[in-house]
Structure 1
Amino acid sequence: MMFSNTLTRRGLIASALLAFASLAAQAAEIRVITSGAFTEAYKKLVPIYEAASGHKVISAYGASIGNAPDSIPSRFARGEKFDLVILSEGGLEALMKDGKLVSGSRVDLVRSQIGVAVRKGTPKPDISTVEALKQTLLNAKSVAYSASASGTYLSTEMFPKLGIAEQMQKTAKKIMSERVGAVVARGEAELGFQQVSELIYFKELDFVGTLPDAVQQTIFFSSALVQGSEQQEAAKHLVRFFTSPAVADIVRSTGVDPVSK
């Protein structure tokens, strides 16, 4: 049965690639900047797309929000040029409001949730309920969270909701310009909070689980065309590939859920 399923999956992807190859226009270079939760899926899908379409994707990476030098808002502020941007819905809407993106071009790609990880071999804390999560946070000597969308939610909404904002100011640290998992892997924090897709690829970590539903934040990561881009048709073509049902299993394997059309 597993062998049959593998053949079926390969057949679906092959069919999709043939379709995208036939739809591709003259080979183009598509400049894309993407953030956090979609990054692992993006890295798996882009080589497949390039091989099928003949287009070349030039990739850049940065946080969805914030003023770190490599964040997406900072890069736009410096005038860096892109054809397509992929980031959290809040960051996307801010760029849209500023006139950086093409109105009406938003396409939701995946849903992402916040997870928790610890250094491999250390005890896994209890986060199964809201009260257990609260006690785990209060007992932790050090906590690392993202400077992007998930971290903003934790520091401005979840910590205050749990009544531990003051304590977290002493023990929690916002991580700039690198993945939270890297900080936890080095032993610089006991607990790491970030999108699940950002944590599960660190072999040095043990994934604890996702936040309880009552305090979970589900974030959409979406694409949009950049205002003034000369490769908008090619960028649309790439987005159609990212949302193709044939590649949904690849996307899902990276810790995010594809958004059904």
Structure 2
Amino acid sequence: MRGIAFRRLLMAALMITAAAGRRAEATELHVIVANSARAALLRLAPDYMRQSGDRIDIEAGLSGGGGANAIPARLAHGMVADVLVILRPDLDRLVRRGLVLQGATADVARARVATLVRTDAPAADLGSPAGLRRALLAAPSIAIPGGGSGAFVSRTLFRRLGVQDAIAGRTHEVQGMPVARAIADGQAAIGFQQASEVGDVQGVRIVPLPPALQMPDAIAAGIAGASRHRDASARLIRYLSSMPAQAVIAASGLARVRP
């Protein structure tokens, strides 16, 4: 009996030691995400932390652009980061600069830009290229976001629709708030934003761009070159590519990369 009791005590001690070891090995990851991916990561973080035992600190910002507050500029000036989740073209530029590890990236979502108008605005066909073109030509004011999404809208979308020159004087970049808020407050008649960034803003009609006009870029995750937690960072990226995570990503307003 004493031998059995001793073995049980030994097993319990080993289990406690192993659990303590797992807690001691828990890693805190600094995850820097584009504004468009923020909602998805906030939804996914609790589940991932339960599964992995690691902790995640999430900070959001502009995926690209030349501003001092954009993620690439902040990273170049020493911002602490382990994992970045930003537009693929912006991530690839950071890889070329040596700020993100080469061969340690993966597409985890697809951009999904939408047209926004107030819910009490006159009905308009915003779901077709021809209808969207008519709406833009008639709009007295047009709001676009900063960063990569704004660059796509102003340089690519408007050019494809043939309205770039006609609406140049009526288009402005929204700063300090979501485009959806500017539309709801009546600061512009029509606007564009990643659908995942609209959040809980009320009074706005959201119409995804027609597939032929949709932003083609993926949102990709990569390991920062200065990260001291590369194994844990790689685990998080694999998780973001998993089927359960992809379902949450799609529910946030982004498009999934896996069917």
Normalising TM by the smaller chain, what interval?
0.7 to 0.9
2:76·2:99 contact (CA, 8 Å) conserved in 1?
no
Aligned to 1:102, the other structure's residue is in SS state: strand
- Show the counterpart of 1:244: 242
Cα deviation for residue 177 of structure 1 reads: 4.5
Structure 2 counterpart of 1:93, which letter?
Answer: D
- Show the counterpart of 2:170: 171
Deviations 1:93-137 (A, max 9, x none): 111111110001111001122111112332342223222111100
Deviations 1:154-174 (A, max 9, x none): 211221232221222211112
Structure 2 counterpart of 1:51, which letter?
Answer: R
Structure 2 counterpart of 1:245, which letter?
Answer: M
Structure 2 counterpart of 1:41, which letter?
Answer: A
Aligned to 1:125, the other structure's residue is in SS state: coil
2:100·2:224 contact (CA, 8 Å) conserved in 1?
yes
Structure 2 counterpart of 1:78, which letter?
Answer: H
Structure 1 counterpart of 2:168, which letter?
Answer: Q
- Show the counterpart of 1:193: 192
1:140·1:191 contact (CA, 8 Å) conserved in 2?
yes
Aligned pairs (5 A) from 1:1-261: 26-199=25-198, 201-207=200-206, 209-260=207-258
120-129 or 145-154: bigger deviation? 120-129
Unaligned runs of 5+ in 1: 1-22
Kindly name which structure, 1 or 2, has the bigger radius of gyration based on alpha carbons. Answer: 2
RMSD after superposition:
2.0
1:96·1:103 contact (CA, 8 Å) conserved in 2?
yes
1:32·1:57 contact (CA, 8 Å) conserved in 2?
yes
1:68·1:176 contact (CA, 8 Å) conserved in 2?
no
Check 1:104–1:128 CA distance in 2 against 1; reply closer, same or farther (3 A cut). same
Deviations 1:20-74 (A, max 9, x none): xxx9981011011000322211110012222332211111111111133321112
- In 2, the alpha carbon distance for the partners of 1:202 and 1:237 equals 34
The number of residue pairs the alignment matches comes to 238
- In 1, the alpha carbon distance for the partners of 2:125 and 2:205 equals 13
Q: Which portions of structure 1, spanning 4 or more consecutive aligned residues, are displaced by more than 4 angstroms? A: none
Check 1:24–1:220 CA distance in 2 against 1; reply closer, same or farther (3 A cut). farther
TM-score by length of 1: 0.84
Check 1:258–1:158 CA distance in 2 against 1; reply closer, same or farther (3 A cut). closer
- In 2, the alpha carbon distance for the partners of 1:117 and 1:36 equals 17
Unaligned runs of 5+ in 2: 1-21
Aligned to 1:104, the other structure's residue is in SS state: strand
- Show the counterpart of 2:17: none
1:114·1:218 contact (CA, 8 Å) conserved in 2?
no
